[in-house]
Amino acid sequence: MDRPGDDRHPCALGPMDPLRWSPSPCTSRPPSPRTPPCEMLGHVGIEAVLEQLKIKAMKMGFEFNIMVVGQSGLGKSTMVNTLFKSKMWKSTLPGLGVPMPQTLQLQSVTHIIEENGVKLKLTVTDTPGFGDQINNDKCWDPILGYINGQYERYLQEEILITRQRHIPDTRVHCCVYFVPPTGHCLRPLDIEFLQRLCRTVNVVPVIARADSLTIEEREAFRRRIQHDLRAHCIEVYPQKCFDEDINDRILNSKIRDRIPFAVVGADQEHLVNGRCVLGRKTKWGIIEVENMAHCEFPLLRDLLIRSHLQDLKDITHNVHYENYRVFRLNQSHALPRGPGWVNLAPAPADLTATPGPWKVRWQAHDSSDEEC
């Protein structure tokens, strides 16, 4: 099992090494004067807690909720199937008797997948009909409503008197936004949507169907999109303000440089040079999905699954959910608030209000608000 985080710990000592208090850059909380660091004179076995944590986590299983947003025909369902190497959906082929949905419908499908003893409950939410109408005004409302609805559900569970041991987590951890490969720049619909959503959920934009662009066109398109994102103050995942330390920043800067990834999805296997690979067969060649020279699908997969999955969940829980909670608890303005009281007005019928600029910070000592 490769451990993607290993190179992040310069102080990876073996268990029998005598202790030294190494000022690891991963320290998010330096020892305060009241908690002096103590030298231990021998092996105690504290690090066994990591193993215990792992066992408990594996027993409980993991949950991950992902949402794919984009116009129809951009290959969302295929992408999901490719990501998780299984038939999550039957990919819809256009014009095969399936009528264009008149309204935006969100469809969720949940599966339990297991790999090497790790159980993952995966929920994929699709949004067919997004951006397909003639008038796409407020087409993001149902999506925002859904996301906020999940937060609301979690919040209601959390404030119960007798609550469950493990609250089922249906909050959307990641939203993958498919940008059509026009090659020019972001369209107004894209900008509107991204602006609203990046404050509520982690958004990862990708360039869909990138096989219609050459490598140079892709680069130019990418730069223009990045420029647009910066110009409109859209913070996509991984957000710069949540980098914990220097290692994180370096790692994430590399990722940020390549966002949005140009991806190609495929769920059929073909024989290339004796190997069986997932790819799209065209008259002029086979586009291998997992080949970095052909497209950036491996980067997306690594980001979403192999290295940043836990991070996505943590940011959703600690930042987006907390923002929503603050917003809900502040809704009843008339009531005077004591220091520790829960004020919960009945949930408004319209759950599309966005909480506003991020006020909750990842690190407690970073107190400046970032207005965007």
Partner 1 sequence: MAVAVGRPSNEELRNLSLSGHVGFDSLPDQLVNKSTSQGFCFNILCVGETGIGKSTLMDTLFNTKFESDPATHNEPGVRLKARSYELQESNVRLKLTIVDTVGFGDQINKDDSYKPIVEYIDAQFEAYLQEELKIKRSLFNYHDTRVHACLYFIAPTGHSLKSLDLVTMKKLDSKVNIIPIIAKADTIAKNELHKFKSKIMSELVSNGVQIYQFPTDEETVAEINATMSVHLPFSVVGSTEEVKIGNKMAKARQYPWGVVQVENENHCDFVKLREMLIRVNMEDLREQTHSRHYELYRRCKLEEMGFKDTDPDSKPFSLQETYEAKRNEFLGELQKKEEEMRQMFVMRVKEKEAELKEAEKELHEKFDLLKRTHQEEKKKVEDKKKELEEEVNNFQKKKAAAQLLQSQAQQSGAQQTKKDKDKKKDSEIAVTLPVRTK
| Residues in 39-68 that interact with partner 1 by CB under 8 A | 39-50, 52-59, 62, 64
Quote the CA–CA distance of 368 and 372 in Å, as a whole number: 12
Regarding 349 and contact with partner 1 (CB under 8 A), the answer is no
Task: Please state the closest distance from residue 364 (CB atom) to partner 1, in A.
Answer: 4
Report the residue number, 219 or 302, with the smaller CB distance to partner 1: 302
For residue 37, the number of C-alpha atoms closer than 13 Å in the C-beta half-sphere is: 9
Q: Is residue 70 a contact partner of residue 89, using CB atoms and an 8 Å limit? A: no
Quote the CA–CA distance of 144 and 159 in Å, as a whole number: 22
**What x/- string results for residues 66 through 85 when contact with partner 1 is judged by CB under 8 A?**
-----------------xxx
Regarding 360 and contact with partner 1 (CB under 8 A), the answer is yes
Task: Give the footprint of partner 1 on residues 9-38 (CB under 8 A).
Answer: 9, 11-15, 17, 19, 21, 24, 26-29, 31, 34-38
Task: Please state the closest distance from residue 33 (CB atom) to partner 1, in A.
Answer: 11
Q: Is the dihedral of CA 12, 18, 19, 24 positive or negative?
A: negative
Regarding 246 and contact with partner 1 (CB under 8 A), the answer is no
57 closest CA partner among 117, 144, 11: 117
Task: Please state the closest distance from residue 191 (CB atom) to partner 1, in A.
Answer: 20
Regarding 134 and contact with partner 1 (CB under 8 A), the answer is no
Quote the CA–CA distance of 366 and 12 in Å, as a whole number: 28
Report the residue number, 220 or 277, with the smaller CB distance to partner 1: 277
* Residue type (1 letter), 67: M
Residues that bind partner 1 (rule: CB under 8 A) add up to a total of: 117
Task: Please state the closest distance from residue 352 (CB atom) to partner 1, in A.
Answer: 11
Regarding 214 and contact with partner 1 (CB under 8 A), the answer is no
Task: Please state the closest distance from residue 286 (CB atom) to partner 1, in A.
Answer: 17
Task: Please state the closest distance from residue 284 (CB atom) to partner 1, in A.
Answer: 26
β partners of residue 278: 269
Quote the CA–CA distance of 86 and 235 in Å, as a whole number: 31
Regarding 109 and contact with partner 1 (CB under 8 A), the answer is yes
Beta strand 261-262 pairing with 118-126: unpaired
What six digits make up the tokens of 200?
A: 């509520």
Three-class SS of residue 13? Answer: coil
238 closest CA partner among 217, 224, 253, 218: 253
Quote the CA–CA distance of 343 and 62 in Å, as a whole number: 31
Q: Near partner 1 by CB under 8 A, which window of 2-10, 187-195, 230-238, 281-289? A: 2-10
Task: Give the footprint of partner 1 on residues 297-336 (CB under 8 A).
Answer: 301-302, 305-311, 314, 318, 322, 325-326, 329-330, 332, 335
Task: Please state the closest distance from residue 37 (CB atom) to partner 1, in A.
Answer: 4
Report the residue number, 50 or 96, with the smaller CB distance to partner 1: 50
Considering only 94, 95, 274, 346, the residue that binds partner 1 (CB under 8 A) is 346
Considering only 93, 134, 160, 293, the residue that binds partner 1 (CB under 8 A) is 160
Q: Can you give the three-state secondary structure of 163-225, one letter per residue? A: CCCCCCCCCCCEEEEEECCCCCCCCHHHHHHHHHHCCCCCEEEEECCHHHCCHHHHHHHHHHH
Task: Please state the closest distance from residue 294 (CB atom) to partner 1, in A.
Answer: 17
β partners of residue 261: 206
Regarding 106 and contact with partner 1 (CB under 8 A), the answer is yes
215 closest CA partner among 170, 183, 173: 183
Considering only 94, 116, 134, 283, the residue that binds partner 1 (CB under 8 A) is 116
Report the residue number, 105 or 214, with the smaller CB distance to partner 1: 105
**Which residues are CB-neighbours of 336 under 8 A, at least 6 positions away?**
none
Considering only 121, 187, 224, 249, the residue that binds partner 1 (CB under 8 A) is 121
Regarding 356 and contact with partner 1 (CB under 8 A), the answer is no
Regarding 153 and contact with partner 1 (CB under 8 A), the answer is no
